[in-house]
Structure formats: structure tokens, C-alpha cells
Amino acid sequence: MKDIIVIVGPTGVGKTKLSIELAKELDAEIINGDSVSIYKRLDIGSAKPSMEERREIPHHLIDIRDVTEDYTVFDYQKDVRRLIEEIQSRGKRVIIVGGTGLYIKAALYNYEFTEGTTYHEYKEYSNEELLEKIKKYPVEYLPEVQNRKRLVRLLNKLENNEETSYEKDNLLYPIQVIGLTCDRDILYQRINDRVDQMMKKGLLEEIYSLKDEYPHSRILNSGSGYKEFYAYLQGTKTLEDTIEEIKKNSRRYAKRQFTFFKHQFPTKWFETNFENFQETINQVLEDIKKGA
């Protein structure tokens, strides 16, 4: 079977556009690799591919959950693995595009999660105490004391007798990872512009239509482009500040994405040529044909 094409990179470099062009060339179907696009009604802020684009090429794992529903890496892993089989059995090639590194990695590598385990928050314990409890088990990687979220997660695994040491980076599928990059200044400029564009396209209206769901939605309270509006709806922050904060969070996110894809995947990087995108497409295509 031909390699799965994985397109990664920071938000706003042109991943979506590239994925669609490649899908046409390679007779492929696209699996979304972005944790926010999973949700219905989060259209503008998550920069989903347009309906037009989605008609052109089959897209999977977009709009499959309501904003009040939960969806985790584990769900994603199962969905992607199932889809890969389906798509390939149809004789089509698989392209995964997105910026959520953990999701993509968990789907393609030997990440193990256990079905239906109980989950404690350990509210009565301090971070230090959690760390002490963890140290009673043989673990190779310790989170920082300040990182409560990771401490809690790890202790849960240990107490549930789940596996916590893994063979490093065991790939389950043959993949080719295409990373899209560009000059940092240009990227930040594009991110800022894109947020302004989102506002023009009606992000605020989208937010208002979701207003009632805010208190009950995990994704609306954690996804950038949405969570920032919470304070605005409460009347404690101006619209201008809200927009600035979305830009800032998006820039930071982009930076973290670079770090993740640089270190966690065997990424081959390509510089996006915004003036002549066809050239970028050609470069990537050439490389793919060479590789598989």
C-alpha cells in the first residue's frame, strides 16, 4: 500500500489548500487532523475547508460532534484507524492534514489508551503530594510539579494499572510527513490578517449563535478563537482586546506546532510560496512521487 501522506505545520501556512491540490493529483481522500474542526458550528474560527472544497474531495472527521459533546485523542485514534482501512480498501490514497500533533501522532504511532477507565481529579492532593505518589511507581518520565494536568493524568494511569512506558516512536503505518513552513514574520502577519478576516466573515455572529452552549462546552472554553470570547460575552473584556488575544494565542500556538512537528515526526519541510503556490505544490508532489 502507498504511504499515507501527512501534512502538518503551523496554523495559517496553507495546509488546507495544499491538501486539496494533492488529493486531486493523488486520487486521495482527506482526514482532518485538527481538533477543533471536529465540531459542528465552529466553522469560521477553526478555518475549516469550505463546502466547495469539501464537495470536491471527500473529507473525513469534520463536523462529527456537537459542541456539547466530548471528543478526545482516544476517539480520534479509533476513528482514524478505521478510516484508513476504509479508504484504502476503496483503493484510494489517504491524506491526513492538520495542526493537532498529538491527535495525529496517537493515530499513527503505537499510542495505547484503555477503554472506560475511571478518572480521579485528586482534588484533595497538592501537586507535590501527587508527585510523591507517582514516585512510588517505576516511571521513566516525570512531569514538572507545576504541571498538575499531567500529574493527574499520569497518576490515574498508574493507579489503573495502565501501561506508562512504551516503545518509543513505533510507527504503525508507512507515512510521509510533509511540513509546511515559512518565515516567522510572514506567518505572524498572515495569522493576524486571518483573524481580522474571520471577524469580517462573521465570527462574532457565530459566537452569538453559540452563546447558550458556552457554559456546557469543553471545546468552546478551550479552543482558541472561541474561548477568548467568554470574557467578552461576560462584558469583562472589549472586543478589541478579545481580537488581540486571539491573535496572540494563535501566534503562540503556531510556535508550539513548529516545535512539535520538528521533534515528534520525521517531517520533511517545504517553504510555502504564497506568490506562486503551484510551485509549492509541484515541489511536494515531486517529493511524494519519489518517496512512494
Partner RNA sequence: GGGGCUUUAGCCAAGCGGUAAGGCGUGGGUCUGCAACACCCUGAUCACCGGUUCAAAUCCGGUAGGCCCCU
Minimum CB separation of residue 289 from RNA in Å reads: 30
**Whether the Cβ atoms of residue 189 and residue 254 lie closer than 8 Å to each other:** no
Residue 113 CB, nearest approach to RNA (Å): 3
From the list 50-58, 80-88, 128-136, 247-255, the region that binds RNA by CB under 7 A is 247-255
Instruction: Note whether 149 binds RNA by CB under 7 A.
Output: yes
Of 270-289, binders to RNA (CB under 7 A) are: none
Q: Please tell me whether residue 101 binds RNA under the rule CB under 7 A.
A: yes
d(CA 99, CA 12): 10
Work out whether 258 is an interface residue with RNA (CB under 7 A): yes
- CA angle 95/69/248 to nearest 5° reads 70
Q: What is the DSSP letter of 179?
A: E
Q: Is 114 exposed, middle or buried (0-12, 13-18, 19+ CB in 10 A)?
A: exposed
152 binds RNA (CB under 7 A): yes
Instruction: Give phi and psi for 65, each to the nearest 5.
Output: -135, 155
In contact, 152 and 121? CB cutoff 8 Å = yes
Q: Is 117 in the site for RNA (CB under 7 A)?
A: yes
CA distances, 125 to each of 120, 224, 285 (Å) = 11, 30, 53
- Shortest Cβ 65–RNA spacing (Å): 11
The residues of the shown chain that bind RNA, judged by CB under 7 A, are 11, 34-37, 45-47, 71-74, 99-103, 106, 110-117, 141, 144, 146-150, 152-154, 157, 162, 166-168, 184, 188, 218-219, 222-225, 227, 248-253, 255-256, 258-260, 262-264
